[in-house]
Structure formats: structure tokens, C-alpha cells
Chains A and B, each alone.
Chain A
Amino acid sequence: MDPQSTIILGKAIGAGLAMIGAAGGGIGIGISVGGAVMAMGRNPDHTATIQTNMILGVAFAEAVAIYALVVSLIILFVLS
């Protein structure tokens, strides 16, 4: 295999492995949305507050997945 292909192979595998971290973000979003929906079901009057806080929490959980994305983007496009 020529060196160029090896580099591309390595980058692709590395970027793919880095994206495993996105799973954590997904789990977090699932838990927080599940909790929020249950809370909304119990007291629908507070839907607005719960929704705001849920979206914030989702954004934080998503941030972890985004770190993984940044790492994999750096592997793909910045490393040479």
C-alpha cells in the first residue's frame, strides 16, 4: 500500500474512533429529554420553564459530542 493511502486510512479510522464520543452526548440528551417529558406530564403548568432548562441541558450534553466532532474534524482537515 502506498504511503498516501496509508495516511488517509489512518485519518479515516482516527476520525471514526473519535466520533465514538458522540454516543455519550446522545445518551445524555436522551436522559434529559426523557426526564423533562416526564416532568411536563406531571405538571403541565411548568412546561415553559422545564423546556428552557431542558434545552440548556441538551445543549450542554451536545457540547460533549461536539468536542468529539471537533477532534475528528481536526484529524481530517488539519493534520497533514
Chain B
Amino acid sequence: MNSFWNGKRRFVALLMFLAGVFVALEVPPVIPFIQLPGENFPAGYNIPFTDIRITNTFVAAVIVWILLLLFVVYVIRRRPQSATEVPPGGFYNMFEMLFEGLMGFVGGIAGGRHFRLIFNMFMTIFLIVLVANWMELVPGVDTIGFIHPHVKEKYDAETDKYKVVTTDGFEIYQGFLGISYVNGQCDWISPADEAAADDAALVQAQAAALAAEQALIEDAAYARYQAAHDDHGDEEQGDHADEASDDHGDDHAEEVKESDAAAAAYNDVLAAREAEKQARAGRGCYTGVAPAPWQDGYTGDDKSAKKDIPLHPDPSSEEAKLVPWVVLPFVRVASTDLNMTLALGLISFVMIQYVGFKALGIGYLTKFFNFSTLFKSPLGGIDVAVGLLELIGDFAKILSFSFRLLGNIFAGSIVLFVMSFLVPILPWPFFILEFFVGVIQALVFALLTAIFMNLATISHHHDDDHDHAEAH
């Protein structure tokens, strides 16, 4: 096998490079769209039995869990059952090397009475964060997904619901480096809503026309009534027939006039509606594209609705111009979602406090509320302030943990897809960079947890006194 590939690998690499050039030229990469919160899947993709929409970062988190579970099962089954058995090689050996190395590493930092607990926490966090971070290097993550017009969910206070607004409505500004951002000037109006608005305008116009006619008729009737009253005394009974026919003629003339006024009122309302539409179009908001799968009013059976927004629109076609197209990836790295990193930060915070209470009992609280020296020493007040600062600092750890991981990995994935967009052929150096950033961030997160847990187990007073004794 080896001899077969000798001297041929470079040609394989060259071939792949040429294939990369060809693909980059033939299928230009999609302009990256950057969004900080995890993106919701289209309507209908709920977490089973709930109303909660799946996000693509959640999918990544589930994949991480599954991978880790498989890993755990594998390690437990391959583990040597007795001391005399020869350890298996391959992947298991690599894991053992990693495990032993890290065990020594953590032992040097937090090797004490609570080493087992601290090391378990360290290893758990390290593996979760490591697998989650490295997922950004897998081809297809962040790049394969639903191609859809640019949509955004917006909270509607009136109906207390999230409503999907988009695309036709939204303008995309192309900024530096092809990073696009959204102008939420106008909301998406579904064709159904637009038709309903048209109908409403029609009804309104008819009502206006009717009202105008009614007003004219009433005016005329009043005028006639007035005239009849004024003339009543002078008129003779015999002229009545004549008068009646005259009235009839007058009525006819007025009816023509009434119709004119009604038509004017009718046209006014419709013209106002038309002007409203024109103004919307002038702002770059369009309607009339059928609802897509993620929009209200979409029916899965309706093939015609799908046909109106093709999944891969011809760039030169008119309908493609209406809509800014972006990718909603199926899987986005879990660490780029604040929910994930904040959850890990909270877990780590809770474990720090837990191990503190476990080691020092209720006396652990004196680290934060230190009144013992308040009346004994002249500078006792400083100890109180320091304790309170430490309380604040402990809560700040949550933020610092979660933002460190989020920021590093989010920035890394932006770098990856911006570079893939700018230099589609050669983004490899950045993948190597992100490989190391993934390891380092996982290590930093886990190591800081271990260090803080170890610090929490050490009695504050005892340590202080010890230091003083040594110093003097």
C-alpha cells in the first residue's frame, strides 16, 4: 500500500487543488451571513411534543452528546479487564495517553483531597468543549443548510407571538468583506395579507361610495321636504300631478350627480391604497411572492407555492432579484451560541461553590462575609470589602467563562467562513489555526474550572495566617 502511494500523493494533492479551483469558479461561495443568536429552523421543526423551535446550535449540541456517549461506551468496552491483559492499541491508546497526560497536569495544579471530583469535572468540560469546538472544522458545518430568502423572526407585541418577517421587505446592505447586514425598514407581508388588505380597501371604497350616495339622497330629500313645506300653503291641489312628474325628473338628474360623487369617493379610497403600495415598493419592499416553507400561510401540499420561490433561483431571473438569499446551516457549532457557553459557565460556577462547601462546610461562607476581623484589627473593614468583592468576582466568573468561549469560537467561525468566501481555494491555514484555538479554549475553560475549584477548597484564613507567619 505504502509503496503504491509513494511519489503519487503530490499528484493527488494537486488534483484536489485543481478541483478546488474548478469548484470555486463554477459554484461561487455564498456570501456569508452573520447572526449572533442560534438560528431557528423553519416552522414545523419543533422539539418533539413542544412548541419550541429547534435551533441549529442545538443540533450541534445533540451531536456532541451522541459522539461523547459513543466515545464513553467505546472506552469502557475496550478497557483492559485485568492488570495482566495487554492494553489494546489504536484509538484507545491515544485516549489513554491524553487521559494520563491531563491527569498529571491537573494533579500538579489541584492534587489534593478533592482531586477526583475536580479531575472528573475538568475532563468532562474539556471533552465537551473540545468536541463542540472542533465541529467547526468539519466540512459542511456552517455551510450546508436550508437556502432561503433572508428571514428574521420579530416579536409582535400585539399578538404576543413571534412572526417571520423578511426578505421581500428587508434590504441587505453589503458591507466590508462581504459581510451583510439587514435593514429592517419594512416587514414582510404575505400575499394572503396583501389580498386581504386589497379586499378591505375595496369594501371600504364601497362603503365610502354608499355613504356619499346616502348623504346626497338625504340632502336631496331634505331639500325637497323644505321646498314642499315652503310651497305648501300657496299650491293648489290640482297641480299635484304635474309637480309629482317634475319631482321625478329632478330625482333622475340628482341620481346622475350622486353616482359621480360616489365614484369619486370610491376612486379616492382605491387610489390611497395604490399609493400606499407604491410607497412600499419605493422603499424596496415587495410582495406577491408566495409564502416559503418557513412563512405563515405555507401549505406543504401546495406545489405551486414552492414553485414561486425556487430553491436555486437563476441569478438573472426577476424573482431572484427580489430576494436576498442566505444559508441557514443545519448544524452550527454549539459554542457559538451563548446558551451553551452560559450553561457550561453556570455548571462550572455551581461546582466551584459545591466543592467549596464540601471541603470547608458552612465556613466556606466566611470567604465572602468576613466579619471575624472587623472589631479585632484596625483594618478589619478592608477584609469585609474584600469578601464582598470576591462574591462579585465569583459571579463575574460566569460571564467571563461564557464570553471567553463564545467570543473565541464565534470569531473563529467568522474567520473561517469569511476566509472561505475570500479565498475559496486556500483557507487551510485558518483551519489549522482554529484547530489549535479549539484545543486551547477547551483547555482554558476546563483548567480554570479546576483552578477555581481548587481555590475554593483552600481555607482563606489558614492560608493568610500561614503566609504572614512565613513572611515575618
Contact = CB atoms under 8 A, between A and B. Distances in A.
Interface of A: 4, 8, 52, 55-56, 59-60, 62-63, 66-67, 69-70, 73-74, 76-78, 80
Nearest to B35: A77
B411 A66 contact: yes
Given A56-B444, A59-B444, A73 B408 contact: no
A47 to B, nearest CB: 16
Interface of B: 34-37, 105, 173, 181-185, 400, 403-404, 406-408, 410-411, 440-441, 443-444, 447
B181 A55 contact: no
27 contacts: A4-B185, A8-B173, A52-B105, A56-B443, A56-B444, A56-B447, A59-B440, A63-B403, A63-B404, A66-B403, A66-B404, A66-B408, A66-B411, A69-B407, A70-B403, A70-B406, A73-B34, A73-B36, A73-B410, A74-B36, A77-B34, A77-B36, A77-B181, A78-B36, A78-B37, A80-B182, A80-B184
A55 to B, nearest CB: 6
A60 B36 contact: no
A4 B37 CA distance: 23
A46 to B, nearest CB: 13
Q: Chain B's interface: helix, strand, loop or mixed, by majority?
A: helix
Contact of B400 (A4, A56, A59, A63): A63
A47 B34 CA distance: 40
Nearest to B400: A63
B34 A55 contact: no
A59 B34 CA distance: 24
A77 B152 CA distance: 12
Task: Kindly list the 6 A-B residue pairs having the minimum CB-CB distance in the complex, ordered from nearest.
Answer: A66-B407, A63-B404, A70-B407, A59-B444, A59-B440, A77-B36
Contacts of B441: 59
Q: Chain A's interface: helix, strand, loop or mixed, by majority?
A: helix
A74 B37 CA distance: 10
Contact of A69 (B183, B184, B400, B411): B411
A56 B445 CA distance: 10
Contacts of A76: 181
A67 B407 contact: yes
Contacts of A73: 34, 36, 410-411
Contacts of B105: 52
Given A56-B443, A66-B404, A77-B34, 10 more contacts: A4-B183, A59-B440, A59-B441, A59-B443, A60-B444, A62-B408, A63-B407, A69-B407, A70-B406, A77-B35
Contacts of B443: 56, 59
A78 B37 CA distance: 9
Nearest to A12: B175
Contacts of B181: 76-77
Nearest to A78: B36
Nearest to B183: A4
A55 B183 CA distance: 41
B38 to A, nearest CB: 13
Contacts of B447: 56
A73 B36 CA distance: 8
Contacts of A56: 443-444, 447
Nearest to B441: A59
Nearest to A70: B407
A8 B176 CA distance: 12
A77 to B, nearest CB: 5
Nearest to B414: A73
A49 to B, nearest CB: 9
Contacts of A70: 403, 406-407, 410
A62 B440 CA distance: 11
Contacts of B440: 55, 59
